[in-house]
């Protein structure tokens, strides 16, 4: 049996998440990546340069991130192996733990349901505004609910399935290389004019690294929700991302809801294709049911991590 690094990291994340007291003292490791990305963007994303030059600058930024994240992971993993031998795995799991976000995602979505259950729409808008990038000030109950469900479904891949996948595949270098690229995609991997060229490499790298995990996430949601397969296969491509549509379409199918549609960003309305079907209004009970499915899907990942440890 291989060392249960992934299982211990999952257990630590489920038990305590990333405590606020720890965050206030030292921040979070992805903050290091964010500072590197911000520095590179300010120095190299000069609009007086051609798109080709800015694209190459973005490629360089991605390579720097991979070298720092993957290199540091490899050095630490090798150092622990040399120092502790067969007992290095708890130390490696301790460093992998912040790369997972099971508890954080759950704890950020639950207050949205609680506010809706109190019929406190302003509080629900504020809660969902903490986890989505869209405008939330004018959302009604159904809009708030859809935003929370979409964020949870997509983040099940970004925050749990994908980091775990890369941890199982490449160990500590894998999970932190993924987190570095995912952070870059969230900061600069956008289609707006400011980011399109410079963020191209970050967006494409994130697409590649999420290719398998996103489909795994969608399959687990359907499996744990007892359905949704047809909607997932039919509507996954309706999303602008080649990956995010899989878990979102799976969740839409399981909950028998329509997700996406018209969404406002910075006051500009974006008309997106609907994902899923159904004409009923979404509400707090759908968020609660989605959280239950999410917990079961995370548990499936635990079994997968245990299976990999047992088989190797």
- CA 212, chain centre distance (Å): 14
Ramachandran region of residue 12, left (φ > 0), alpha (ψ -120 to 50) or beta?
alpha
Express as a percent the part of the chain with pLDDT over 90.
Answer: 72
Per-residue model confidence (pLDDT) at position 63: 97
Mean pLDDT of 235-252: 94
Among 53-57, 269-273, 288-292, the range scoring the smallest mean pLDDT is: 269-273
Token couple for 218: 């969608």
Whether the predicted model's global pTM rises above the 0.75 cut? yes
Q: What is the pLDDT of residues 197-219, one digit of tens each?
A: 999 999 999 999 999 999 999 99
Q: Residue 32 pLDDT > 90, yes or no?
A: yes
Q: Residue 43 pLDDT > 90, yes or no?
A: yes
Per-residue model confidence (pLDDT) at position 131: 86
Average pLDDT, rounded, for the chain: 91
Mean pLDDT of 36-56: 93
Contact 158, 178 (CB under 8 A): no
Q: Residue 280 pLDDT > 70, yes or no?
A: yes
Report which of 195, 204, 202 is spatially closest to residue 54, judged by C-alpha positions: 195
Distances (CA, A) of 105 to 2, 129, 156: 29, 14, 8
Q: Residue 274 pLDDT > 80, yes or no?
A: yes
Burial of 271: CB neighbours in 10 Å, binned 0-12, 13-18, 19+: exposed
Express as a percent the part of the chain with pLDDT over 70.
Answer: 97
Per-residue model confidence (pLDDT) at position 134: 79
* pLDDT category of residue 85 using cuts at 50, 70 and 90: confident
- Domain-wise residue ranges, the chain: 5-311
Q: Residue 62 pLDDT > 60, yes or no?
A: yes
Strands 268-276 and 258-265 come out as antiparallel
β-pair partners for 275: 259
* pLDDT category of residue 180 using cuts at 50, 70 and 90: very high
Among 75-79, 140-144, 167-171, 295-299, the range scoring the smallest mean pLDDT is: 140-144
Q: Residue 16 pLDDT > 60, yes or no?
A: yes
Contact 102, 14 (CB under 8 A): yes
Q: Residue 271 pLDDT > 80, yes or no?
A: no
Q: Residue 87 pLDDT > 90, yes or no?
A: no
Instruction: Tell me which of 223 and 194 has the higher pLDDT.
Output: 223
Mean pLDDT of 270-285: 84
Per-residue model confidence (pLDDT) at position 136: 82
Report which of 173, 177, 176, 167 is spatially closest to residue 63, judged by C-alpha positions: 177
Q: What is the pLDDT of residues 139-160, one digit of tens each?
A: 889 889 999 999 999 999 999 9
> Measured between alpha carbons, how far is 177 from 218 in angstroms, rounded to an integer?
23
């Amino acid at each position: 049996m291989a060392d249960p690094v992934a299982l211990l990291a999952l257990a630590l994340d489920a038990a305590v998440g990333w405590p606020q007291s720890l965050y206030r003292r030292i921040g979070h490791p992805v903050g290091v990546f964010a500072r590197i990305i911000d520095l590179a963007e300010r120095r190299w994303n000069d609009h007086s340069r051609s798109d080709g030059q800015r694209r190459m600058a973005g490629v360089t930024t991605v390579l720097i991130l991979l070298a720092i994240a993957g290199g540091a992971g490899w050095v630490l993993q090798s150092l622990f192996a040399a120092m502790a031998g067969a007992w290095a795995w708890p130390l490696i799991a301790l460093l992998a733990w912040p790369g997972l976000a099971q508890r954080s995602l759950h704890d950020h979505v639950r207050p949205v349901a609680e506010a809706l259950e109190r019929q406190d729409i302003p509080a629900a808008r504020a809660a969902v505004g903490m986890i989505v990038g869209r405008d939330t000030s004018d959302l009604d109950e159904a809009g708030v609910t859809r935003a929370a469900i979409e964020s949870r479904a997509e983040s099940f891949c970004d925050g749990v399935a994908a980091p775990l996948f890369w941890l199982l595949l490449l160990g500590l270098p894998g999970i932190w290389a993924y987190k570095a690229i995912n952070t870059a995609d969230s900061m600069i991997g956008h289609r707006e004019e400011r980011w399109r060229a410079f963020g191209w490499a970050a967006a494409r790298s994130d697409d590649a690294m999420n290719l398998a995990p996103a489909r795994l996430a969608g399959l687990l949601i359907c499996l744990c929700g007892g359905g949704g397969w047809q909607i997932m296969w039919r509507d996954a491509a309706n999303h602008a991302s080649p990956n995010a549509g899989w878990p979102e379409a799976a969740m839409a199918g399981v909950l028998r809801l329509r997700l996406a549609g018209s969404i406002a960003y910075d006051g500009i309305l974006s008309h997106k294709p609907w994902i899923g079907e159904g004409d009923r209004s979404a509400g707090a009970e759908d968020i609660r049911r989605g959280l239950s499915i999410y917990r079961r899907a995370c548990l499936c990942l635990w079994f997968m991590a245990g299976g990999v440890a047992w088989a190797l």
